[in-house]
A and B are shown apart, each in its own frame.
Chain A
Amino acid sequence: RAYVFGEDVKFGGVFRCTSGLADAFGTHRVFNTPLCEQGLVGFGIGLAAMGNRAIAEIQFADYIFPAFDQATAKFRYRSGNAFNCGGLTVRSPYGAVGHGGHYHSQSPEAFFCHVPGLKVVIPRNPSQAKGLLLASIRDPNPVIFFEPKWLYRLSVDEVPEGDYMLPLSNAEVIREGTDITLVAWGAQLAVMQQACAEAEKEGISCELIDLRTLIPWDKELVEASVNKTGKLIVSHEAPVTGGFGAEIAATIAERCFLRLEAPIARVCGLDTPFPLVFEPFYMPTANKVSTA
């Protein structure tokens, strides 16, 4: 009783994410909806409340805003656990893609991180994506699953066959180091890897952490890492002010205040609407990270 629906998912979707699904599972389970994001997410909540697993696709994360009210679903809370919409997973491509402009490149993860009761998950590559997506679908809470669209074409990975889940709310250290901790998620990790490599040449050993789940996030792991290194940089594509980096910075400052050797730095997108031509300047590039 799982359903996949959204705009243009039947033929495979504009990013080919759902190709073959309609053939495999039938069009009664994989279907297109008309162009109504608000209706779509609400519809998903209804389905989920009836005990189904609804996997809604929002074509670009930028389009999720009409559905924002529905997405801040507080179903379990306000019905006193009579109903819940844990079966809802909203998948959406997000993030910069090189040429998207204002409405095809936004990173709205911070807005959703502010909603208690929702989980936000972001994978960094295909094998992670599979495990995290399965975990998200099976998680008894509503999850918003953002997929970095930059990586649709770029990321190549060995994905294990079969069913496997990766735990949500667990961050992962993908590169060990001792001098400084770097935290990021999604496509930004590739940029961070580059920055780490550059820093290595200058003798700085970086520890890189992929947060994977933004809320609830793995505070313990990051805290442990910062206790080891004493310094932290957070990096994300979304604008810096009010971005999720702020939450991480505040929490770590609270927990590791006496251990920190320098203020926590955030290397993020600028506080402008996502620019078209200026994308190279807007993005937090490896250079910016290295300079930090």
Chain B
Amino acid sequence: MAASSLASRAVASLSPSISTGASRDDAGSSSVVGFHKRSSAFTGRRVRISSGHGSSAAHGRRSCVVAATAAPVKESPPKIADIELVTREEGLELYEDMILGRCFEDMCAQMYYRSKMFGFVHLYNGQEAVSTGFVKALKKDDYICSTYRDHVHALSKGVPARQVMSELFGKATGCCRGQGGSMHMFSKEHRLLGGFAFIGEGIPVATGAAFNTKYSREVLKDLSVDAVTLAFFGDGTCNNGQFFECLNMAALWKLPIVYVVENNLWAIGMDHFRATSVPEIWKKGEAFGMPGVHVDGMDVLKVREVAKEAIARARRGDGPTLVECETYRYRGHSLADPDELRKPEQKNKYAVRDPIAAFKKYLLENGLASEADLKAIEKKIDEIVEDAVEFADASPLPPRSQLLENVFADPRGFGIGPDGKYRCEDPAFTAGTAEV
């Protein structure tokens, strides 16, 4: 069948990089995939790295053989292939992006507890590899759609930390002029189609954006438009109607979109395995005729390999891909969440798989960077984040008149007031008096 051969082709090209580390079985089999680095002119060394993470402890999960729809990847160690996974420059860029994400989120927590930031704030700690791995494989013109856990997606896409921090503080210099807050980050310049508080809300929006690309190319014959769209969402969302509806449409119309599931196993307090009849989300791709891929979301290089392939597939016009990233959030669902339900064993299991620590180790062991390089990056990021906070602090709050802006395209859409003038021109309309 056409769909599955497409899928198996996609799988075949993906297979060397997909980890067999989808070892959610409780047989304790260890997941080992060698990622091999060509001996580089840099170091003259040939290094074999295991980026598996040891056995996953038995926790009663169903076994889940890796990757996509066709034949499972064999578990024997692959031959040493000459794949250059990442150059020094790329490596440093990835590292910097992940550190930015982590540092920024930690600062958010601090600012929240100092009441500089308010509302519902959802932090991304632990999931940085997914954002960095995917977003850094995009071009500037590509679009992303996120959820309420969107600060780091915004940062990875290029929205300046200052603007994101200001938005969180509710200031007029924020990326949405303070109107959106933590959960609704938008940026036209950086092609960020939002932050959505409502789960699943962004998926159809992303699907529409992808359609625009296809339409522009095929109907309007404008080949300069080749934007791919990424939709990020969580495991809980995969039980929502909107998700299924969009998978169907995207596969039907072969839209240039990649659906990225950040499966951190919890939807606030609902464990994924108790909420989902078939917990292997990647399998759901096949039901709709698109390849479903599972990847270890704590390893930025693996994520990046899958991302590059999926994005290339979309850009070629071969249609959508569903990528499930197994990841974890180190903090609670939001800053108001006491996080009582997750067991310490589970948290510890993922704590040792910290994507930043793992990547740092990789860079150092492969001679792609020195301690000093990484320290310099960390320092630079610290300064950027501090600067962002200062900027946000110093920025003004939005003026009251902004309240009426952007409800209608034309603020005169509020109609005529009792005095015969346009309501939006009456200062009393927003000043707090009763006449409406």
User: Which of B199, B242, B268, B407 is close to A272, meaning CB atoms less than 8 Å apart?
Assistant: B407
User: Which of B197, B242, B430 is close to A102, meaning CB atoms less than 8 Å apart?
Assistant: B197
Contact call A66/B241, Cβ cutoff below 8 A? yes
User: Which of A66, A102, A272, A287 is close to B432, meaning CB atoms less than 8 Å apart?
Assistant: A287
Contact call A104/B197, Cβ cutoff below 8 A? yes
Contact call B119/A99, Cβ cutoff below 8 A? yes
Contact call A281/B275, Cβ cutoff below 8 A? no
Choose the segment among B7-15, B35-43, B247-255, B395-403 that binds chain A (4+ C-beta atoms closer than 8 Å).
Answer: B395-403
User: Which of A7, A103, A281 is close to B197, meaning CB atoms less than 8 Å apart?
Assistant: A103
Most buried by B among A36, A267, A276: A276
Asked if B341 is an interface residue, CB under 8 A from chain A, the answer is: yes
| Interface size class, chain A | 35 or more
Q: For residue A99, which residues in chain B have a CB less than 8 angstroms away from its CB?
A: 118-120
A287 CA / B182 CA spacing, docked (Å): 30
Choose the segment among B20-28, B173-181, B221-229, B385-393 that binds chain A (4+ C-beta atoms closer than 8 Å).
Answer: B173-181
Asked if B133 is an interface residue, CB under 8 A from chain A, the answer is: no
Asked if B436 is an interface residue, CB under 8 A from chain A, the answer is: yes
What is the CB-to-nearest-CB distance from B385 to chain A, in angstroms, rounded to a whole number?
A: 22
Contact call B269/A11, Cβ cutoff below 8 A? yes
Which residues of chain A from 14 to 55 have any CB-CB distance to chain B below 8 Å in the complex?
A: 14, 32-36, 38-39
Q: For residue A34, which residues in chain B have a CB less than 8 angstroms away from its CB?
A: 236, 239-240, 267, 270, 275-276
Contact call A271/B414, Cβ cutoff below 8 A? yes
User: Which of A35, A266, A277 is close to B436, meaning CB atoms less than 8 Å apart?
Assistant: A266
Asked if B256 is an interface residue, CB under 8 A from chain A, the answer is: no
The tally of CB-CB contacts under 8 A between chains A and B is 113
| Interface size class, chain B | 35 or more
Asked if A291 is an interface residue, CB under 8 A from chain B, the answer is: yes
Q: For residue B120, which residues in chain A have a CB less than 8 angstroms away from its CB?
A: 99-101, 104
Known contacts: A102-B197, A285-B432. The answer to whether A7 contacts B270 by CB under 8 A is yes
Asked if B261 is an interface residue, CB under 8 A from chain A, the answer is: no
Q: For residue B397, which residues in chain A have a CB less than 8 angstroms away from its CB?
A: 277
Per-position contact with A for B409-436: 1 when CB-CB < 8 Å, else 0?
Answer: 0000010000000000000011011101
Taking CB as reference atom, which chain A residue is nearest B174? A277
Contact call B240/A35, Cβ cutoff below 8 A? yes
Known contacts: A35-B237, A36-B239. The answer to whether A288 contacts B433 by CB under 8 A is yes
Asked if A126 is an interface residue, CB under 8 A from chain B, the answer is: no
Taking CB as reference atom, which chain A residue is nearest B117? A99
Asked if B111 is an interface residue, CB under 8 A from chain A, the answer is: no
A26 CA / B56 CA spacing, docked (Å): 32
Asked if B183 is an interface residue, CB under 8 A from chain A, the answer is: yes
Known contacts: A272-B403, A276-B170. The answer to whether A103 contacts B118 by CB under 8 A is no
What is the CB-to-nearest-CB distance from A232 to chain B, in angstroms, rounded to a whole number?
A: 13
Known contacts: A7-B270, A101-B119. The answer to whether A276 contacts B432 by CB under 8 A is no
A8 CA / B237 CA spacing, docked (Å): 14
Asked if A268 is an interface residue, CB under 8 A from chain B, the answer is: yes
Contact call B236/A103, Cβ cutoff below 8 A? no
Known contacts: A36-B239, A99-B119. The answer to whether A62 contacts B178 by CB under 8 A is no
Q: For residue A271, which residues in chain B have a CB less than 8 angstroms away from its CB?
A: 407, 414
User: Can you identify 26 A-B contacts, CB atoms within 8 angstroms?
Assistant: A7-B270, A11-B269, A14-B268, A34-B275, A35-B270, A66-B242, A100-B120, A103-B197, A103-B198, A104-B197, A240-B436, A270-B404, A270-B429, A271-B407, A275-B179, A276-B178, A277-B170, A277-B179, A277-B397, A277-B398, A278-B400, A278-B402, A281-B430, A288-B432, A288-B433, A291-B433
Which residues of A pack against B, CB within 8 Å? 7-8, 10-11, 14, 32-36, 38-39, 62-63, 66, 98-104, 240, 265-268, 270-273, 275-278, 281-282, 285, 287-289, 291-292
Interface pairs A-B: 8 shortest CB-CB: A103-B197, A34-B239, A292-B434, A277-B170, A34-B275, A35-B236, A99-B119, A276-B181
